[in-house]
Homo-oligomer: A and B are copies of this chain.
């Protein structure tokens, strides 16, 4: 993350300790992924995270862990144990650790009662606890569940309390607690984010193309890599969405312009999801001929609801006989060039196109390993072909990794070909990271 004027100005923020409350975490039945996620988010806000702890559902134990944070000026961010059941004891423990009374927020209770009434359900006995917080604490609304959250400043630090369910926790943090932290500990407004997801270009090339955009004034930027999916993220403090847009939109728009169809989406978009949407939009029916990907292209595409409107079929022709019988690959091609060859993969894609009446097809044939490699065609050699309304072309890929990674990367490359072809109405030039120049 490139440092910016904004992030250097907030260096006096309290150090943070992240607490996960829950016996299921301490016993190892749930991995504490909340702490990692929060640590990364907090770093982007300029907070220094100094440790994580996981504590059992035991009021005294929770209070005993939080209490010593206060004289040290720490901000304790506590996840979990805020529901209505008897083992939800975080509120009580925090009040005790701070030596403050737990008080009921009557407005918040009215909201919760109205919520139950709207669902046609009786208000469960004891549920008022979800609207209680230590005296002087600020309400942090929770649109994702019934239990309200809170933030309380105490000395130089304080305590923030969040839900334990990851989806709820992330929602409340992003949409409410960020702003509350800024209000209590900083003054430069809320944080706003833009994120672009890219596929088909290595990180180094993206970095080179967008270097100036990744060192912005008045915002922070990050380039995050999840295998071949690369995310560009900009974050800025601003008073409101309009002020944020003035800072962030020119950056994201310029990056989109430079990167073109390498950008496939934003935030939670998946490559297969946007590909199905692009095919639907373009009115294209799709068929596949898979060898080394072994059905994984079809599997990922059919994970997308509504994919049946796009995908006609996939011929997973693992054996050579199946390539001949199902796709009309010629015995001569297999004898002369082998199944992992430009000739074979072109015959495969033309075969599935001819037989399926699809508009857009891809085919894969490669060596996923661990066996089957040779000097000439080592493990990771993958041929990928595409066919769009009568035109075909093929690419040779050199895919690093083990068997599962080679399948996974070849599959994503094939899906990206479908996406770009559907968007452009033409077959792309370089749709994947691992293409070997002809």
Contacts and interface: CB of A to CB of B under 8 A. Distances in A.
A308 interface: yes
A55 B49 contact: no
A125 to B, nearest CB: 30
A322 B312 contact: yes
B315 A302 contact: no
Contact of A322 (B37, B305, B313, B369): B313
A153 B369 CA distance: 47
Interface in A43-84: 43, 49-56, 61, 65
A340 interface: no
A404 B56 contact: no
B305 A311 contact: no
A301 interface: yes
B36 A49 contact: no
Given A27-B43, A312-B319, A318-B312, A301 B294 contact: yes
A317 B313 contact: yes
A358 to B, nearest CB: 10
A10 interface: no
A183 to B, nearest CB: 24
A316 to B, nearest CB: 4
A313 B312 contact: no
- Do most interface residues of chain A lie in helix, strand or loop, or is the interface mixed? mixed
Contacts of A51: 26, 53-56, 61, 65
Copies of chain A in the complex: 2
Contacts of A303: 294, 403-404, 407
B315 A311 contact: no
A28 B35 contact: yes
Given A308-B319, A313-B326, A356-B322, A40 B49 contact: no
Contacts of A318: 298, 302, 307-308, 311-314
Q: How large is the interface on A (under 10, 10 to 19, 20 to 34, 35 or more residues)?
A: 35 or more
A370 interface: yes
A233 to B, nearest CB: 15
Contacts of A404: 303
A290 B26 CA distance: 42
B52 A26 contact: yes
Contact of A305 (B32, B53, B299, B371): B371
Given A301-B294, A313-B326, A316-B298, A52 B36 contact: no
A361 to B, nearest CB: 13
Contacts of A370: 305
Given A36-B30, A43-B28, A322-B312, A305 B49 contact: no
A403 B27 CA distance: 31
Contact of A36 (B28, B312, B357, B371): B28
A335 B40 CA distance: 54
Interface string A303-340: 10111100111111111011001100000000000000
Contacts of A210: none
A171 to B, nearest CB: 18
Nearest to A325: B355
A426 to B, nearest CB: 25
A31 interface: yes
A372 B307 CA distance: 12
A23 B415 CA distance: 36
A33 interface: yes
Contact of A53 (B52, B290, B355): B52
The 3 closest A-B pairs by CB, nearest first: A294-B302, A295-B298, A28-B39
28 contacts: A26-B51, A27-B40, A27-B43, A28-B35, A28-B36, A28-B49, A31-B36, A32-B52, A50-B56, A50-B61, A51-B53, A52-B54, A53-B53, A290-B298, A294-B302, A295-B314, A296-B302, A298-B318, A305-B369, A305-B371, A305-B403, A306-B371, A308-B318, A312-B318, A312-B321, A313-B318, A314-B314, A315-B326
Interface of A: 25-33, 35-40, 43, 49-56, 61, 65, 288, 290, 294-299, 301-303, 305-308, 311-319, 321-322, 325-326, 355-357, 368-372, 403-404, 407
